[in-house]
């Protein structure tokens, strides 16, 4: 029904029977779902055996292409370890051996990156430069049997293993492994160092002063060589939020790394420096260069001693016995490789779009230097694994990416990045700083010393290397500066740059420190020390009987934090939105509260009086005899405005005392909910009893039931702030969970006491913030919904308590939500209608509705989708850009520049939640989904699946039904996300129709049409597509439509013509003359 039958392929693969079930959506493209066994070459009794040969060939072809791309991301030693049964997921040390280790650092990449970052096609040009430089470099390394273990930005760590070639069956016993006939074998270790030395000399000869073709920028290498015992470790294994595959990191450790950390800085551009250990092995094989006065035990390499050894002989002998290609990963090990490749990169490899990962983008970078852990000790590997897993959990909890983990002479080095696809957020600088604070707690727990540098800026993010060996990395001035700040940070201290401090949200405050000078910068660099903002204001009832809501001072939705007067701003938003008379949200709320919206309740001087209730809630309302109200909706739709009005109305009119508990948007904030619940509960006791102590701990001592006396020390520590701040808790913290559960039990017990004296309204809120993936908030949501279950159980038992729950999407299986559904008190907030939007714009701008231009109202309605937050942001941006001028005099019209709405580039408003959040949503899509979305923005009207396939997997280009199935899966995901919609086929008079009679009914159904009605997504998505690409998509779709419409008839006529016997005219003439 989706146009599949319109494609006619030569030999379409078809899945039959139960075997088709293994083509689960989670497994496409080219991958079986997790619960299906992988397709093995030997043909075992698995799901793959139930596939037809054509389907099997398709999968093998797709997986084979993926395998070829993925092999470049893992070193040879890792693959050898697998075939030696040393690569189990729980095994840390996967290789112990000896050999030469080379560290090659390139100069000139920073200048190259800075110059190209200013160009519109800078990422493409830089990618070309990197490829042209690293391709011959890695070819030379492989030729000498070197194994590129790690890319450290523009530097390489290379391992030349010590292997005894004389033990190979093919060894002839005449020419020794070093390749020089007539010379004695020098041994495996010396041979490995000789190969490393020969490789370094040839690299300098071929690549010194490499011309990039960019403004006379040239690249040079300076190299350090060491040797000795080494270990290869794999650590990690925590699952990132965007995938189901555990992420592992491998690293090399050993004494040679200490040697090269000294040798490499001693070498200038174009030079190679050998450690004393390496020099001792090859001093009779090479010629020494200039003497090093500062370190006479280290030696510079000038050239080979060509009277004994030459490049061709060493290289030839090395390649003669190189058997590494026999131990490469095969198709059956594809899922093993995934553990070592970032999920976003692997998906691009699967889709055949790896070149699209190279880009210039704004990111926040964290460099961490850790010391105090010796991975070569007996317990070192296990401690490294535990540390890595803890850092991964903290990083993934804030939806960041751990890009590198290295070990050198100074200890451990971590590189973490926030802002890499698909984990892109508007508040990535804040996430990076909060994660760094959590890392500090991790290092404290392990009794290690850590230094942290955080920077924000535009950098190159993409693959670095060649088709044979590459890694995904980040390069640029921002990355270098992060390393410099890390080096200058005090133990367990964090230093940030100016951009990070400027782009962080108000939940973090920064103290400016004295500027410092760093390598590569002419002027001193401003630096800052971040600190969590202390929210000392009370939550709930205050001493002057007013209500302080949690969102006044905590960044629950990130909208108001950092403004000068959060209270006044929040109250003004309640008035602006809740005064919209026909808004479904306020209408439903007032049905439960009774009467009309009263703006006087939200005055600055309104307080709760100790008097009898002024009015009663309507009969059957949750606020009359107790019940649950649930308000669900995305950020900005008005949850908090409605909640503020409900609480204010209930407190002032019904004398219901409010108790608050909020969680989010940061991970592990259950302790904050516990603190808010306890403090706001104590505030209610003080409201009822003026003699109650003002100190929360002292007040708790007076009212705490004796059954919880043993929990008092734990709760005292929590209320006094002696525990770790909520933002810095580990995502999975059993101690934190125990504190929370105890606090909840105490609060529930105190509610049973309070309800005998006064009605109580408990407000619980969970906010996702800018988090993109469900796994990030899964544990916190479990805690939140368990709390709501406890509250619902109490409400059912005690009739004088009401609950108000605020969330993005309610859990329909939860008891509290079920109660709300049964009593018709579940509010699912949607965008404002066009009439609502006009009235809201009038309230927000402070003008009459008639003064709002019609074109402005239509523009706002289309772009903002009726989201009040988006409406405010759009109006503010129009006024800031001076497209819109508002004169608030009575009856004065709004001044809108002529044609202004046609020239506005909405996609440039990345700093707003409307555009920034949309960009992040699109960045989180898989490659095929992103491609489908971008192609959809090219069509103004309805389109079909074959229209999209014409540019991505055309039948005329040899695509198969499975390629179309992948695209179909992508469109279904976009429909589920409300990005595109299924629509009816165009009518005969529509632009899509030719005006002729409709086609006869097809035996397999009609073609399904789609359309993108979401103007915001269309606008932002279209900005990601080049004009040439838009024209190409439309052109290909038109060609495909014409071929489908006209080609069958023409082919029928041609077939009929060919069926007739054809006699050439000259034969026909001759035949007539003969007759």
Nearest of 252, 261, 215 to residue 376 by alpha carbon: 252
**Cis? peptide before 340, omega within 30° of 0:** no
Mean pLDDT by 10 residues, the chain (1075 residues): 34 34 34 37 48 80 90 95 91 95 90 80 84 94 95 91 89 86 92 95 93 87 95 94 92 93 93 96 93 92 91 90 89 92 92 84 94 88 94 94 86 93 92 95 94 94 92 91 94 95 88 90 92 81 88 66 68 92 93 90 81 84 91 92 94 92 85 91 91 91 91 88 56 68 92 91 91 88 93 88 94 94 94 93 89 89 92 91 76 64 80 88 90 91 91 80 87 92 78 47 68 90 83 90 83 84 76 75
- Tally of CB atoms within 10 A around 207: 19
Please give the full DSSP string across 151-183, using - where no structure is assigned. EETTEEEEEEE---GGGSTT--SSS-TT--TTS
CA distance 539 to 551: 9
Q: Phi, psi (5° rounding) for residue 248?
A: -115, 150
User: Residues 386, 390, 396, 397: is their CA dihedral positive or negative?
Assistant: positive
CA distance 1062 to 1058: 8
User: Are 561 and 507 within 8 A, CB to CB?
Assistant: yes
DSSP state of 610: S
Residue indicated by tokens 């019940």: 627
Query: Residue 490's pLDDT is what?
Result: 95
Residue indicated by tokens 């070829």: 68
**Residue 19 burial class via C-beta count within 10 angstroms: exposed 0-12, middle 13-18, buried 19 and up:** middle
Q: Phi, psi (5° rounding) for residue 974?
A: -65, -35
Query: Residue 899's pLDDT is what?
Result: 64
Nearest of 252, 146, 126 to residue 194 by alpha carbon: 146
Query: Residue 17's pLDDT is what?
Result: 34
In terms of DSSP H, where are the helices of 561-654?
Answer: 566-578, 584-593, 622-625, 639-653
CA distance 122 to 80: 38
What SS3 state is found at 472? Answer: strand
506: CB partners within 8 A, 6+ apart: 533, 555, 561, 562, 563
- Please give the radius of gyration of the chain, using alpha carbons only, rounded to the nearest integer: 34
Question: Tokens standing for 509?
Answer: 């405050």
735: CB partners within 8 A, 6+ apart: none
246: CB partners within 8 A, 6+ apart: 89, 236, 237, 238, 239, 339
CA distance 254 to 161: 13
Query: Residue 22's pLDDT is what?
Result: 34
HEC string of 856-905 equals HHHHHHHHHCCCHHHHHHHHHHHHHCCCEECCCCCCCCCEECCCHHHHCC
CA distance 112 to 116: 6
What SS3 state is found at 36? Answer: coil
Question: Tokens standing for 899?
Answer: 């044609």
User: Are 825 and 589 within 8 A, CB to CB?
Assistant: no
CA distance 111 to 107: 9
What SS3 state is found at 931? Answer: helix
375: CB partners within 8 A, 6+ apart: 231, 233, 253, 381, 383, 384, 407
Residue indicated by tokens 């998509």: 1033
Q: Tell me the helices (H) and strands (E) count for the chain, helix number first.
A: 35, 29
CA distance 736 to 742: 10
Residue indicated by tokens 């890392």: 439
DSSP state of 363: E
Beta strands in 653-766 (DSSP E): 657-663, 760-766
CA distance 1 to 187: 70
CA distance 913 to 555: 14
């Amino acid at each position: 029904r989706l146009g599949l039958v319109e494609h006619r392929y030569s030999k379409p693969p078809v899945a039959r029977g139960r075997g088709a079930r293994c083509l689960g959506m989670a497994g496409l493209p080219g991958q079986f779902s997790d619960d299906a066994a992988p397709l093995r070459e030997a043909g075992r009794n698995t799901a793959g055996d139930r596939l037809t040969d054509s389907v099997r060939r398709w999968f093998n072809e797709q997986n084979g292409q993926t395998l070829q791309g993925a092999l470049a991301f893992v070193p040879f030693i890792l693959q050898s370890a697998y075939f030696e049964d040393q690569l189990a997921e729980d095994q840390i040390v996967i290789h112990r051996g000896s050999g030469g280790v080379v560290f090659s650092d390139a100069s000139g990449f920073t200048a190259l990156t800075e110059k190209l970052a200013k160009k519109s096609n800078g990422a493409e040009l830089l990618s070309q430069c990197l490829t042209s430089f690293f391709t011959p470099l890695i070819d030379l390394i492989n030729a000498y049997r070197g194994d590129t273990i790690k890319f450290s930005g523009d530097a390489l760590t290379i391992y030349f293993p010590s292997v005894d070639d004389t033990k190979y069956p093919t060894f002839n016993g005449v020419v020794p492994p070093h390749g020089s006939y007539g010379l004695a074998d020098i041994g495996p270790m010396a041979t490995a160092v000789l190969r490393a030395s020969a490789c370094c000399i040839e690299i300098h000869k071929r690549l010194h002063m490499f011309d990039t073709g960019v403004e006379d920028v040239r690249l040079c290498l300076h190299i350090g060589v060491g040797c000795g015992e080494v270990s290869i470790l794999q650590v990690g294994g925590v699952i990132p939020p965007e995938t189901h595959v555990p992420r592992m990191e491998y690293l090399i450790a050993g004494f040679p790394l200490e040697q090269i950390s000294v040798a490499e800085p001693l070498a200038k551009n174009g030079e190679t420096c050998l450690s004393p250990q390496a020099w001792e092995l090859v001093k009779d094989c090479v010629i020494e260069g200039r003497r090093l006065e500062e370190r006479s035990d280290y030696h510079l390499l000038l050239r080979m001693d060509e009277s004994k050894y030459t490049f061709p002989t060493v290289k030839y002998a090395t390649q003669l016995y190189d058997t590494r290609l026999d131990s490469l990963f095969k198709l059956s090990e594809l899922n093993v490789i995934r553990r070592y490749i970032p999920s976003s990169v692997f998906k691009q490899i699967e889709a055949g779009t790896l070149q699209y990962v190279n880009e210039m983008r704004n990111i926040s970078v964290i460099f961490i230097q850790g010391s105090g852990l010796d991975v070569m000790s007996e317990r070192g590997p296990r401690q490294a694994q535990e540390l890595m897993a803890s850092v991964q959990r903290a990083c993934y909890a804030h939806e960041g990416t751990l890009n590198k983990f290295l070990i050198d002479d100074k200890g451990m080095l971590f590189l973490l990045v926030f802002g890499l696809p698909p984990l892109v957020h508007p508040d990535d600088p804040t996430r990076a700083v909060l994660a760094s604070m959590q890392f500090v707690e991790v290092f404290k727990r392990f009794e290690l010393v850590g230094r942290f540098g955080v920077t924000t800026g535009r950098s190159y993010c993409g693959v670095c290397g060649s088709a044979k060996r590459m890694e995904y990395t980040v390069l640029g001035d921002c990355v270098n500066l992060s390393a410099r700040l890390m080096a200058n940070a005090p133990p367990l201290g964090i230093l940030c740059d100016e951009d990070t401090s400027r782009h962080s949200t108000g939940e973090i405050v920064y103290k400016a420190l004295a500027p410092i000078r760093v390598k590569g910068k002419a002027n001193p660099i401003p630096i800052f020390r971040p600190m969590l903002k202390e929210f000392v204001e009370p939550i709930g009832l205050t001493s002057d009987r007013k209500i302080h809501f949690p969102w006044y001072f905590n960044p629950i939705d990130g909208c108001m934090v950092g403004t000068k007067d959060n209270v006044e701003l929040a109250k003004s938003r309640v008035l602006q939105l809740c005064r919209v008379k026909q808004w479904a949200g306020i209408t439903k709320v007032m049905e439960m509260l009774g009467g009309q919206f009263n703006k006087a309740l939200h005055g600055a001087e309104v307080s709760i009086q100790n008097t009898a209730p002024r009015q009663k809630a309507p009969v059957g309302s949750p606020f009359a005899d107790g019940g649950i109200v649930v308000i669900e909706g995305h950020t900005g739709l008005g949850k908090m405005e409605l909640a503020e009005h409900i609480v204010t109305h209930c407190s002032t009119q019904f004398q219901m005392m409010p108790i608050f508990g909020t969680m989010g948007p940061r991970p592990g904030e259950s302790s904050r909910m516990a603190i808010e619940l306890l403090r706001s509960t104590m505030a209610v006791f003080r409201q009822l009893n003026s003699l109650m102590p003002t100190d929360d701990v002292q007040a708790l001592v007076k009212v705490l039931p004796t059954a919880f006396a043993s929990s008092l020390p734990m709760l005292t520590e929590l209320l006094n702030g002696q525990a770790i701040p909520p933002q810095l808790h580990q995502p999975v913290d059993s101690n934190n969970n125990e504190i929370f559960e105890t606090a909840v039990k105490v609060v529930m017990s105190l509610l049973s006491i309070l309800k005998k004296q006064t009605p109580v309204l408990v407000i619980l809120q969970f906010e996702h913030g800018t988090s993109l993936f469900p796994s990030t908030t899964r544990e916190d949501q479990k805690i939140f919904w368990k709390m709501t279950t406890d509250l619902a159980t109490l409400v059912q038992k005690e009739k004088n308590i009401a609950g108000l729950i605020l969330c993005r999407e309610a859990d329909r299986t939860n008891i509290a939500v079920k109660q709300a559904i049964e009593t018709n008190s579940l509010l699912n907030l949607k965008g404002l209608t066009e009439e609502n939007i006009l009235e809201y714009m009038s309230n927000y701008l402070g003008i009459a509705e008639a003064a709002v231009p019609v074109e402005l109202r239509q523009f706002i309605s289309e772009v903002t989708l009726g989201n009040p937050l988006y409406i405010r942001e759009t109006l503010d941006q129009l006024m800031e850009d001076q497209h819109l001028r508002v004169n608030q005099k009575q009856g004065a019209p709004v001044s809108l520049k002529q044609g202004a709405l046609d020239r506005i580039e909405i996609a440039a408003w990345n700093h707003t939640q409307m555009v920034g959040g949309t960009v992040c949503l699109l960045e989180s899509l898989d490659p095929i989904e992103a491609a489908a979305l971008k192609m959809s923005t090219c069509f103004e009207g309805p389109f079909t699946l074959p229209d999209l396939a014409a540019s991505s997997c055309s039948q005329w280009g040899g695509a198969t039904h499975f390629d179309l199935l992948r695209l179909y899966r992508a469109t279904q995901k976009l429909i589920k996300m409300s990005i595109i919609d299924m629509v009816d086929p165009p009518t005969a008079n529509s632009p899509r129709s030719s005006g002729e009679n409709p086609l006869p009914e097809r035996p397999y159904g009609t073609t399904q049409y789609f359309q993108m009605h979401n103007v915001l997504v269309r606008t932002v998505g279209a900005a990601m597509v080049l004009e040439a690409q838009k024209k190409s998509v439309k052109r290909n779709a038109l060609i495909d439509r014409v071929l489908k419409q006209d080609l069958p008839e023409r082919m029928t006529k041609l077939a009929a013509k060919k069926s007739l016997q054809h006699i050439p005219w000259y034969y026909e003439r001759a035949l007539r003359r003969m007759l």
